[in-house]
Amino acid sequence: MSEALAAALAAEHAAIYAYGPIGVHLDGDAADQARSAEAAHRSRRDSLILLLTGKGGTVPVAAPAYALPFPVTDEASALRLAVEVEERTGAVWRAALPATEGAQRGSALNGLTDAAVRATRWRRAAGVTPATVPFPGRPA
């Protein structure tokens, strides 16, 4: 169980990092959306750190920097990265579902669901259609 949650924590660290360059290239509603998304990822990160620390297992720390999958230079690439960040985060939370049960299953499900909702929001902002995928988090 802890391994899957440690992977989720690592993904949340990366997501928080990515929202830095994303936010820089957005304004208006999209910038607000990026801020609230980043706050949501920070909140999940903090819960995971507490949980994993309590278990006494390894608690992944944030890397000083993460390699982005492509350069973020403008609004379009920022939106594209936001979609990708949420898709990746959702996939990691989905992978945690079989490894968890009870309340932790519930928070993994929230992690997946929130990521899927944000991915849909970002796809709509980017004009990507369809804005949804049939099985969020499932490996392609």
Partner 1 sequence: MRTGDTNQKYGTAGRSRRDVVRAAALVALVGTTGSLTGCGLFDGEPDPPPAPDPLAPLIGGALDLAARYEATIAAFPELADRLRPLAEAHRAHAAELARVTRTTLPSATVAPSTSAGDSGAVTAAATLKQLREAEQQGRDAAAKVCTEAPADRAALVGSITAARASHLEVLR
Closer Cβ to partner 1, 72 or 112, answer by number: 112
Q: Which CB sits closer to partner 1, 35 or 138?
A: 138
Radius of gyration of the chain (CA): 15
Among residues 20 and 98, whose Cβ is nearest to partner 1? 98
Distance between CA atoms of residues 122 and 36, nearest Å? 13
**Shortest separation between residue 132's beta carbon and partner 1, angstroms:** 5
Could you list the residues that contact partner 1 (CB under 8 A)?
A: 90, 94-95, 97-102, 105-106, 108-109, 112-113, 115-117, 119-121, 124, 129-138
- Considering the complex, state which of residue 68 and residue 99 has its C-beta at the smaller distance from partner 1: 99
Q: How far apart are CB 73 and partner 1 at their closest, in Å?
A: 27
46 in Cβ contact with 13 (< 8 Å): no
Q: HEC profile for 59-123?
A: CCCCCCCCCCCCCCCCHHHHHHHHHHHHHHHHHHHHHHCCCCCHHHHHHHHHHHHHHHHHHHHHH
Closest contact distance (angstroms) between CB of 18 and partner 1 is 20
Least distance (Å) between residue 113 CB and partner 1 = 4
Nearest to 72 by CA among 9, 130, 19: 19
